[in-house]
Structure 1
Amino acid sequence: MKVSLERLTKTFDEKGKSSRAAVNRLNAEIKSGTLTGLLGPSGCGKSTLLFMIAGLHSTTEGKIWFGEQEVTNLPSEKRGVGLVFQNYALYPHLTARQNIAFPLLNSKNLKAQTQKKLDELVKEQGVNAKYKSYVDSLVAETAKLVEISDYLDRKPSELSGGQQQRVAIARALIKNPSILLLDEPLSNLDARLRIQTREEIRRIQQRSGITTIFVTHDQEEALSICDEVIILKEGTLQQQGTPQDVYDHPSNQFVAQFLGNTPINILKGKIESGKLYVGETEWLSLPKPLPDQRVNVGIRAEHVLAASYPRQQTLPVKVVKSFRTGGAFTAEGQLPDGQTLTFLNDRNDPYRENDLLRVYVRPQTMSIFDDKGDRILEC
């Protein structure tokens, strides 16, 4: 099911203050059958947007479409969405089996829809099935999909965090939703379990084929499992695209600086007479003419090559720090004007403090931003 958002806006009135836009005139399209991540810093509007899609928040302005159906004013229970909350919201006194079956036994709308499917099944196959038995078969089928068949008779307190997460996903999936919504589903798990569970989410999404929207503040989660990511800042859309494309080709300085475990280098420079300067050092000729102006140059550490010999289009640096993070060796160099440049170090022959080098940046990997933070050129 495709999800289309048209000029979507949500404002909240704050006591004694003017209204604040948590989501502001957002346009986006989420392709059917994909896993899309809503990504951005805390307070950027991710969860608000998710709850608007779910129908838990009304819209101040704009429209929401599921396929060809406008659902902007449709009640949540009629939208056909499955929602998994950050805290899972499992009933502690019920077993995993009972938690999963709960929507089909207690929601009038879902019970009617499920009974209709059962009646069609009885008519087509001539079988005699009771509603409770049919629900039990759906629970078993869904539990198999999320791989918790062996834990159905346990209560939430007897399950690990990852198992509880899968129970919550199963409870959402058993409703046969058109769209699955996940609100920070991994935030309560430890680091190792987060990695394991995010891969489980990806596997479940691919096997089910359900359009899934996934809210997270953890860029590594989004970049590792999502088909597309939507980057938000203060309720506005900054960029949408595949994880690799957004990482390699940020639309502005905010996106460039937000993404990347090793923060991107932002060097202050200027354009004069078609040439790019860093500080007062002439670096390279631009591939196309741009007006003379002050600029910021974005360079990722992995695209910086260090060389101990002179080379065209290089910058001189003095190594001021060398450190190791996990399996990566990183160095920090100082440019003649005092700016610093982080780059990957050679683990077999690492550069040391006070080493003098020249560094070369791979072509087509740097982004040039104007003083407003908008990208004006990729070299």
Structure 2
Amino acid sequence: MAGHRSSMPQRGEVTGYLLKLIRESVPLTQEQLAAHLDVDRVTVQSWESGRRPFTAVPFGQAVAIRQRLGRLGANTKLLAALDDAAEADLILAALLRDEADRSPIAEQPLGWSVLTHRLTDLILWSVLGQTPTFIRSIPIPRRRGPVANAPILSADERRAFFVRLRELAERSAFEREPDVLLHRQACFLAGMDPTGASASWLAEGTTRIARRITGFHTWSPLWPDIRSMVTSLANQGDPEPLRDFITRAHPDDACERAALNYSAYWVGEIPYRHRNDSFMPTALGDWRGVVLFRHLVDRLTIGHPFVDLNVHNLWALLMARRGLTHDDLATGQTLADRCATLLDSDQLSRQSRQELTSILYSLRADGVTGTGTGR
């Protein structure tokens, strides 16, 4: 039928596993939770395993279940992630369905909104099995017997995930009206490929657009697209395109604002979702930057694939948010230690060394010194 939109496929592994962690945080058995929710144990078991996707539960019922879990004392961080878990399942379902390579790219939810750190973590939970950052600090009870420690995809699905990302990146780039958001987010996720198989096609794509890096006079929609491609290559072991981008693609305040707004959005300091990248170069909002400050300092380590980008963003953040180190003195002291450690290494670009030196002088001028544990 002309104009008919194909029905969305459904998966429930990510949401289901998160529900299990939420239940265990109360703590309750499946039987006990079923009694509280007025359903049978098999229903709870099916939700948690993903066999019966929780994303298929009617909206009103899902809201009621969430409220009931909150009243039972469930962990609030886990509860707050349910929407992102459902979106992760939606993205995975659309990407992995059999006809994904033939369906219109507009039907791919990966291109419907700008990814956040938490949502990306939840997607990669299934693909790589790595525990999302926001879950790592939450105590997980000991379980009996052999149980999965992540909502991991099958080996075939994990391979298909990265193959489909390449297909989406290529299709979105060569459409009559290219879908820049879908393209850049497919490239960004492809950079997480642990096999290294995505590195070659990412490098080819970056080579094609490398000359555009020097052509930036201000922000454009291609700016975040190229940024995603070069960060993907850095994640695959080649930091030079990212270093070149940092040096050449920040010619004015609009690009610096874009870097900060996007980073603040990524870590959740901007609390609402954006549907495209146009928010990036706008005036800095009312976010303070404390969460972003901690996020960047935590990742200011030798060997981190984005260490040069983290240095630059920290330098720009401290320029834009004066007094931030006094808002979180402990993180400021950690920053001083890590600056000293990094400056002793030979794994930074020249620009990163200059910016780290500037940060260190600024910290000392503000009376913030390290703890002496950085060296």
TM-score, scaled to structure 1:
0.24
Question: Which of the two has higher C-alpha Rg?
Answer: 1
Higher relative contact order (CA 8 A, sep 6+): 1
TM-score (norm 2): 0.25
Structure (1/2) with the larger strand percentage? 1
